[in-house]
């Protein structure tokens, strides 16, 4: 029986696509593992938002890797495996479903209780082996739960079950915490930080850093944890900071962010920088001058020397991006620049001088050895140049299908464990982790 040429060509195209998607499993440059087939579908509501992944969605700790995401039961799933290639175990945590939070602000009615994609799961692991989770926030009451102690310090001694995790809480051992957006965990030795945007929305909110150590939250309320204040005499009287992340390197806490004046993305402006050498008590500008003390003296849009690179509002620049610090102490930021194109900025650790230039990709940054910094995009793994800012070299290509239905997120700790870099992605309900081999 003869088949029409068009049908044959269509079949060839389908088979080629399937082979291309299957090929990564054996590619020497990278390998793919399936975490589970239970990811929350992108089309679970007509709006088709990106539900996964956020800050800390994938982490390596003491030779094990952990993933956290929204699943198709509308619950938070937490998965783990032993590196380098152990089988994933998954625990879907009961006690809270995505649609329980109806306090959605502008996302309310059309979201059907699912929100608009802001409400991603954030995960942190503290030095006492506790796994911390914060989830489902967009100007919402805090949703926080954590594991029992030492789970991550003694993983082989515990079966991976939901019973390892406690109930959902609206506080950190202090008062109830309201109007939360963008939670993000950062480890600093024995301490664990939790960033929360509080007291407002875009263009009108404060930045807070809660702090945990050895089983309790040392800073757990708004007055003691506030660092960046929203009040500003310019614009309409308020701003908010959009941090790229906090990174700790050699005892120094680094923080970069941009400002936004109103809910309109076009009012985003400037790349800002501050650092702390005393575990976050005192914050300094690029030149080393104190501009903030947590809970006491707040950084504002008028703080002296807080702007590292002037970027005007009403351009194609928008908040968002990724930041890391290489082993030599050089700060790297990748974001959209004034032209709307990908933009790479660096800070020299010796002189404090900032340099910047256009680059080719957006994505998530991870530090390698020395001055080497890597970026994971939907297309693969790339190496950024420290000496020639903006120059990028592709190390390995990966099928973008793996990341199609989630936001690209990278495991910042994996490289220090075994020299590989991992990223997590979603296609349909399939949750995958891509491990990239980094050339030595």
103 pLDDT above the threshold of 70: no
Q: pLDDT tens digits for 261-315?
A: 999 999 999 999 999 999 999 999 999 999 999 999 999 999 999 999 999 999 9
Q: In this structure, how many other beta carbons lie within 10 angstroms of the beta carbon of residue 191?
A: 17
pLDDT band at 224 (very low <50, low <70, confident <90, very high): very high
State the SS3 of the chain. CCCCHHHHHHHHHHHHHHHHHHHHHHCCCEEEEEEECCECCHHHCCCCCCCCCCCCCEEEECCEEEEEEEECCCCEEEEEEECCCCCCEEEEECCCCHHHCCCCHHHHHHHCCCCCCCCCCEEEECCCCCEEEECCCCCECCCEEEECCCCCCCHHHCCCCHHHECCCECCCCCCCCCCEEEEEEEEECCEEEEEEEECCCCCCCEEEEEEEECCEEEECCHHHHEEECCECCCCCCECEEEEEEEEEECCEEEEEEEEECCCCHHHEEEEEEEEECCCCCEEECCCCCEEEECCCECECCCCCCCEEECCCCCCCCCCCCEEEECCCCCEEEEEECCCCCEEEEEECCCCCCEEEEECCCCCEEEECCCCCEEEEECCEEEEECCCCCCCEEEEEECCHHHHCCCCCEECCCHHHHHCEEEEEEEECCEEEEEEEECCC
pLDDT at 396: 94
Task: Tell me: pLDDT of 210 over 80.
Answer: yes
Least confident span in 20-29, 102-111, 379-388: 20-29
Q: Which residue has the higher pLDDT, 255 or 48?
A: 255
Q: What's the pLDDT at 28? A: 62
Q: Which strands, in side-by-side order, build the sheet including 322-325?
A: 322-325, 331-336, 342-347, 354-358
Position 10 confidence tier, pLDDT thresholds 50, 70, 90: very low
Cis-peptide, bond into residue 84, ω within 30° of zero: yes
**Mean pLDDT value across the chain:** 90
Q: In this model, does residue 29 exceed pLDDT 80?
A: yes
> What confidence tier does 111 reach under pLDDT thresholds 50, 70, 90?
low
| pLDDT more than 90, % of the chain | 80
Domain boundaries, the chain: 329-343+354-440
* pLDDT of the residue at 163: 98
Answer yes or no: are the C-beta atoms of 194 and 134 closer than 8 Å: yes
Q: Are strands 331-336 and 342-347 parallel, antiparallel or unpaired?
A: antiparallel
Q: Kindly report the CA angle at 431 between 192 and 128, in degrees rounded to 5?
A: 20
176 preceded by cis ω (within 30°)?
A: no
> How many angstroms separate the CA atoms of 346 and 387, rounded?
10
Q: What confidence category does residue 11 fall into, taking pLDDT thresholds of 50, 70 and 90?
A: very low
Task: Provide the residue count of the chain.
Answer: 440
Mean pLDDT of 77-82: 99
Tokens of residue 367, six digits: 């530090």
Q: d(Cα 71, Cα 49) in Å, to the nearest integer?
A: 14
Q: Is the pLDDT of residue 113 over 70?
A: no
pLDDT of residue 25: 38
Secondary structure (H, E, C), 60-84: EECCEEEEEEEECCCCEEEEEEECC
What is the spatial distance between Cα 256 and Cα 265, in angstroms, rounded to a whole number? 18
pLDDT at 439: 86
**Distance in angstroms (rounded) separating the CA atoms of residues 116 and 140:** 13
Distance in angstroms (rounded) separating the CA atoms of residues 281 and 218: 13
Give 4's pLDDT tier (boundaries 50, 70, 90).
Answer: very low
* pLDDT at residue number 104: 55
Phi, psi of 24 (to 5 degrees): -60, -25
Q: What is the pLDDT of residue 157?
A: 96
Q: Residue 54: pLDDT above 80?
A: yes
pLDDT at 398 over 90: no
pTM of the entire predicted model? 0.91
């Amino acid at each position: 029986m003869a088949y029409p040429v068009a049908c044959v060509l269509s079949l060839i195209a389908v088979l080629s696509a399937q082979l291309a998607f299957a090929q990564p499993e054996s590619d020497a440059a990278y390998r793919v593992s399936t975490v589970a087939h239970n990811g929350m579908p992108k089309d679970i509501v007509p709006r088709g938002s990106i539900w996964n992944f956020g800050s800390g969605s994938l982490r390596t700790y003491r030779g094990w890797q952990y993933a956290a995401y929204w699943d198709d039961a509308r619950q938070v799933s937490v998965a783990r495996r032993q590196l380098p290639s152990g089988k994933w175990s998954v625990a879907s945590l009961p006690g809270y479903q995505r649609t329980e939070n109806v306090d959605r602000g502008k996302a309310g009615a059309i979201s059907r209780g699912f929100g608009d994609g802001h409400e991603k799961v954030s995960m942190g692991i503290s030095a006492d082996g506790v796994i911390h989770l914060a989830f489902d926030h967009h100007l919402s009451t805090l949703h926080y739960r954590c594991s029992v102690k030492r789970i991550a310090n003694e993983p082989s001694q515990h079966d991976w079950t939901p019973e390892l995790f406690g109930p959902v809480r609206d506080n950190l051992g202090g008062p109830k915490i309201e109007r939360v957006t963008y939670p993000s965990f950062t480890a600093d030795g024995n301490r664990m930080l939790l960033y929360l945007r509080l007291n407002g929305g875009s263009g009108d909110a404060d930045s807070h850093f809660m702090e945990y150590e050895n089983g309790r939250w040392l800073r757990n309320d708004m007055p003691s944890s506030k660092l960046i204040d929203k009040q500003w005499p310019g614009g309409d009287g308020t701003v908010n900071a959009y941090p790229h992340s906090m990174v700790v390197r050699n005892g120094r806490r680094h923080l970069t962010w941009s400002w936004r004046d109103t809910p309109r993305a076009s009012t985003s402006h400037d790349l800002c920088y501050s650092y702390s050498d005393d575990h976050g008590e005192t914050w300094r500008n690029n030149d080393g001058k104190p501009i903030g003390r947590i809970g006491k003296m707040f950084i504002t849009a008028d703080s002296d020397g807080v702007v590292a690179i002037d970027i005007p509002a009403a351009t194609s620049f928008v908040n968002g991006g990724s930041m890391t610090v290489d082993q030599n102490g050089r700060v790297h930021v990748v974001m959209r620049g004034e032209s709307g194109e990908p933009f790479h900025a660096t800070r020299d650790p010796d002189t404090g001088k900032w340099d910047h230039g256009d680059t080719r990709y957006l994505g998530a940054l991870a530090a390698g050895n020395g001055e080497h910094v890597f970026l994971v995009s939907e297309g693969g793994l790339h190496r950024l140049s420290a000496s020639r800012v903006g120059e990028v070299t592709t190390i390995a290509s990966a099928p973008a299908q793996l990341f199609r239905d989630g936001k690209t997120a990278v495991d910042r700790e994996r490289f220090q464990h075994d020299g590989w870099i991992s990223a997590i992605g979603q296609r349909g309900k399939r949750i995958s982790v891509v491990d990239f081999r980094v050339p030595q």
